[in-house]
A and B are shown apart, each in its own frame.
Chain A
Amino acid sequence: MLRLRNVKCFYGRIQAISGVSLSVRQGEIIALIGANGAGKSTLLQTVSGLLSGWEGEIEFEKVSLAGLKPPEIVQRGISLVPEGRMLFPPMSVLDNLKLGAYIRYRRKEREQVEKDLEEIQDLFPVLRERFRQAAGTLSGGEQQMLAIGRALMARPRLLLLDEPAMGLAPFMVQLIMETLQKLKEDGMTILLVEQNARAALQIADRGYVLENGRIVLDGPAHELLADEEVKRAYLGKDYREFTDGRM
């Protein structure tokens, strides 16, 4: 469904991603894990069109995404749940959700949008109680749910999530991960970027480990969970830092 081939990303002259290839198949949950600064968010922002400085090939449903701006990419069916949720805090929960469906109002899908609003509330019952409340007044977990709900309102076929577990209590993390599984059962394809590798790999089909802008490891999620290398990356420490100069 999504295929990246030798993708390199740049911030000005600084290269953040040096040749990443990965693929996401229809109906899969793919976990992309790695430490701080490995380039996970960069990669997601590139796919969603927020970063334009990249080389290589990105194909979604066999069509290249080169040169497309975020609105066009959302139109094609890819939605991003950004890092740190990036809600619109002074606006109500309802308005946030409606903004998620922005592109669909143009396509005259008003009635369908209303139905989807209901569906999102069924998925996250807490949001129903907070409908008129400003998004900024929600708790961290509720905000994350809203961010996911907002992305779903665009009716994506591929959902990109950037660290949805960040800063959440373990109970909340579990709830979010269960929701993602539920979405998968309903046919959603998910690319999940997480530092909380354990939580991510537990629900994922396959995983990729990103380190310093490169994929260093990939494979079925359960194999990665058992892998020593992954345990190291999961801790967020690079052991060369400890061994350099001593070996």
Chain B
Amino acid sequence: MLKRLIFIAVIVLTGQVVSNPYYLQVLTFIGINTLLALGLNMVMGYAGQISLGHAAFYGLGAYTSSLLTIHLNWSPWLALPFTLVFVGLIAFIVALPMLRLSGYYLGMGTLAFGMIVFFIFLQWRSLTGGDSGLIGIPGLTLGPISFEFGAPPFYLVWSAVFLSFVVCERLIDSRIGRALRSLHDSEKASAAMGINTSRLKVQVFVFGGVMAALAGFLYAHLITFISPQTFDFLMSVKIVTMVVIGGMASVWGSLLGAALLTLLPEWLHVFADYEMIIYGLTLVVIMIFLPQGLTRGLLDSYEHFRSRSKNLPKSHES
């Protein structure tokens, strides 16, 4: 509970203190990416099912809601539940055959799914606008508040992040969470516990997909412009990287990973031509020195430090 209050306090404080629109936008993006990473972390970090096509659900969420609001003149708030259900349904249909695969094959399958969706965005010009994307997506408003500029989008996205954190943490601490982690260790053993492994895998996949759709919805209506490149294969890889760098099977790791991978390119702009090299190097160095990801790595070094300072006199004797 205390943790949650602190989290809210940090969000509110940040929103109050930061006034530079550029910083606010970066923070908003961190929030959207956190939603993506968190959803994938449930699938990959907890349940151990690799997905290299997570950006597809992100894109499907963005496109579905955009099309509904542009072509059918729906209010975005009406489009939201429909989008989540629709993308959830697609995730369900995809998951049924896909999650019979495992390991590399599941990776290949989800990769192919991501590509198919990307090419649909790109090639179905009459609907998606193809390469040039969709413009004129209505922004979000709530009564007198417009979520187009400044602090409101920041608050909106981070409220969503906060809610997802609460939902995910509750889920992880429940029997479902234990079952997910057991799936990660050994599918056979969890089946022997009486866990319906195939159903659980489909459920968590759909859950991750719906979270990505929520991120897509927010992205589309806050930026009011989308194009296929945002949801390509590289984005899927980026989400996987966020999860791995941040820390598998860690809710806070998703936040750390998303923050780092959003901020790093912004910080590295100063290096101009060398930007990508340093970006890659940073990730490699993190993986070498903190192979468990930032969260686990930081916690471990903290514990290591604590036990060392406690045991220091003893270790001298021996």
Between A86, A98, A154, the greatest number of chain B beta carbons within 10 A of the residue's beta carbon is seen for A86
A102 touches B189 (CB 8 A): no
Contact with A along B180-192 (1 / 0, CB 8 A): 0110011011111
Number of interface residues of B (CB under 8 A): 16
Q: Quick one: closest B residue to A80, CB to CB?
A: B192
Q: Would B192 and A99 count as touching, CB distance under 8 A?
A: no
Contacts of B195 in A (CB 8 A): 71, 99, 102
Closest to A76 in B: B194
> How far apart sit A69 and B54, CA to CA, in the bound complex (Å)?
30
Q: How far is the CA of A87 from the CA of B190 in the complex (A)?
A: 9
Q: Evaluate whether A86 and B181 lie within 8 angstroms (CB atoms) in the complex, with A98-B175, A102-B175, A105-B175 already known.
A: no
Identify which of A86, A89, A98, A103 contacts B194 (C-beta below 8 A): A103
Given known pairs A99-B179, A99-B190, the reply for A71 and B196 (CB within 8 Å) is: yes
Q: Identify which of residues 47-106 in chain A touch chain B, using a CB-to-CB cut-off of 8 Å.
A: 48-50, 69-71, 73-75, 79-80, 82, 86-91, 95, 98-100, 102-103, 105
Q: Taking the complex as formed, is B193 at the interface, i.e. its CB lies under 8 A from any CB of chain A?
A: yes
Residues in chain B near residue A98, CB distance under 8 A:
175, 178
* Nearest A residue to B177, CB-CB: A95
User: B residues within 8 A CB of A87?
Assistant: 189
Verify if A150 is at the interface (C-beta below 8 Å from B).
yes
Q: How far is the CA of A69 from the CA of B190 in the complex (A)?
A: 12
Chain B residues with CB under 8 Å of chain A are 175, 178-179, 181-182, 185-186, 188-196
Q: List 13 A-B contacts (CB under 8 A).
A: A50-B192, A71-B195, A74-B194, A75-B194, A86-B192, A88-B182, A88-B186, A88-B189, A91-B178, A98-B178, A99-B178, A100-B193, A154-B194
Beyond the given A50-B192, A74-B192, A82-B192, could you list 18 further A-B residue pairs with CB under 8 A, ordered by the A residue number? Answer: A71-B191, A71-B195, A74-B193, A75-B194, A86-B189, A86-B192, A88-B186, A88-B189, A95-B181, A99-B179, A99-B182, A99-B193, A99-B195, A102-B178, A102-B193, A102-B194, A105-B175, A150-B193
Top 5 A-B residue pairs of the complex, sorted by shortest distance between their CB atoms = A74-B194, A86-B189, A103-B194, A88-B185, A70-B191
Q: Taking beta carbons and an 8 Å cutoff, which residues of A are in contact with B?
A: 48-50, 69-71, 73-75, 79-80, 82, 86-91, 95, 98-100, 102-103, 105, 150, 154
